[in-house]
Amino acid sequence: MSLKEKLFSKLEAKEQQIETRRHLHANPELSFKEENTAKFIEDFYQDKDVKVTANVGNGFGIIVEINGKAPGKTIGLRADFDALPIHEEADVPFKSKNDGVMHACGHDVHTAYLLHLGEALIELKDEWNGTIKLIHQHAEEVPPGGAKSIVESGILDDLNEVYGIHIFHMLDVGEVGLISGNSMAGRSNFDLTIQGSGGHGAMPQTTRDALVAGAYFVAEVQTIVSRRMDPMDSVVVSVTAFDAPGGYNVIQDKVTLRGTVRYLDENNKVPAYEAMKKIAEGIESSFDVKCDLDYVYDYPVAYNHPEETQYVEDILSESVGYITEIKHPRPSSGSEDFAYYTQRTPGTFIHVGSKPEGVENPYPNHHPKFDVHEDSLLISAKTLGDVVLGRLGN
């Protein structure tokens, strides 16, 4: 039996993976508050022949180092474990016990498959060369995220390559997606406070109407994409909240807005901000209000290194039995702090299909009814196991 066959045989005890996933799903924790989840992960590796480093970075990050029988490459495998502030509406028996918190993005799946892949690799550590670092990452969902601080800690400075997986509802179970180059958008978030002067709704001439100024801002920022960016580039500007409470006859003196900007080319990061800043300055002049723009550069564009992406494709193309098709989807305007790992270390981020069985139009990630096909756990574990053995030369 080959080493890969031995690994896959251990992984095929998939009931354990599913049990772990369901426990994590029922006990979700928000970003930077994942204390119990981190303890669950640490306890999983207790008494195993590995080095576990906890509280890495700016939160509960955990690095598990597995040393093979002889020196070789050092490869990182990453999975995130935070949940979202969403009230779960999915009809599952292992529904979230923490009201208002839900694993609506699949991080429970990510953590479960990496735990059991790690366990199998530990049991076979005398049969492969090199070092594997399992990166159990906290706080992917909330900026500044966990990845940047883990990278900055220096604990991954010896990595030669790094790989990760995200499950996606738009791919069928058995389908794997690979994107070479810029694959997921960079992200900036903004808050805008417009301070005017309120008054009676029947006498608007005595006010400086912040609400009208805000409405003009919403309309004007659409021109950032339509008139200020290269039409061949992919840029998204979305105002996602407009807070202007009041009564029928009250003109408010202050309104607040917030939103997000996405771009698939880092060269558009600063120009997008500069364009928004000019619009805010124009609003101030036009409406005699004060605009306070708080604009935060967030996760960078996620770059999949072409050589490592091709390595993965070559390895998975020879896989039999668990991958039905390798697809090459378009880059996504979603963002991922996995980008920080590949800024420093060659690697790639793999998409694995998780569309629920018999569902033509599944609920997307971050939806309160989000659900997955649990076969995606085994496929994810086999995919990353296949890749790491191949890249370690075993």
Two tokens, residue 17: 């993976």
Contacts of residue 69, defined as CB under 8 A and 6 or more positions apart, other chains included, come to 125, 126, 127, 128, 129
Q: What interhelical angle do 375-392 and 14-26 show, nearest 10?
A: 110
Write the DSSP symbol of residue 229.
Answer: S
Which CA distances in Å does 82 have to 112, 125, 353?
13, 29, 20
Contacts of residue 357, defined as CB under 8 A and 6 or more positions apart, other chains included, come to 173, 373
| Rounded CA separation 282/217 (Å) | 9
| Rounded CA separation 22/108 (Å) | 8
**Residue that has been written with the tokens 């010896």 in this structure:** 158
In contact, 80 and 60? CB cutoff 8 Å: no
Other C-beta atoms within 10 Å of 180: how many?
18
Two tokens, residue 108: 């429970």
| Rounded CA separation 11/181 (Å) | 31
Write the DSSP symbol of residue 87.
Answer: -
Beta pairing class for 161-168 and 74-80? parallel
Listed residue (4, 2, 97) closest to 322, CA to CA: 4
Catalytic hit among 88, 140, 298, 337: 140
What are the respective helix, strand and coil percentages of the chain, to the nearest 5? 35, 25, 40
Listed residue (337, 342, 287) closest to 148, CA to CA: 337
Catalytic hit among 34, 80, 82, 253: 82
To 10 degrees, the CA torsion angle through 27, 30, 36, 37? Answer: 70
Residue 82 falls in the annotated catalytic set: yes
In contact, 35 and 27? CB cutoff 8 Å: no
In contact, 348 and 251? CB cutoff 8 Å: no
In DSSP terms, 83 is beta-bridged to 30
| Rounded CA separation 68/64 (Å) | 13
Please list the active-site residues.
82, 140
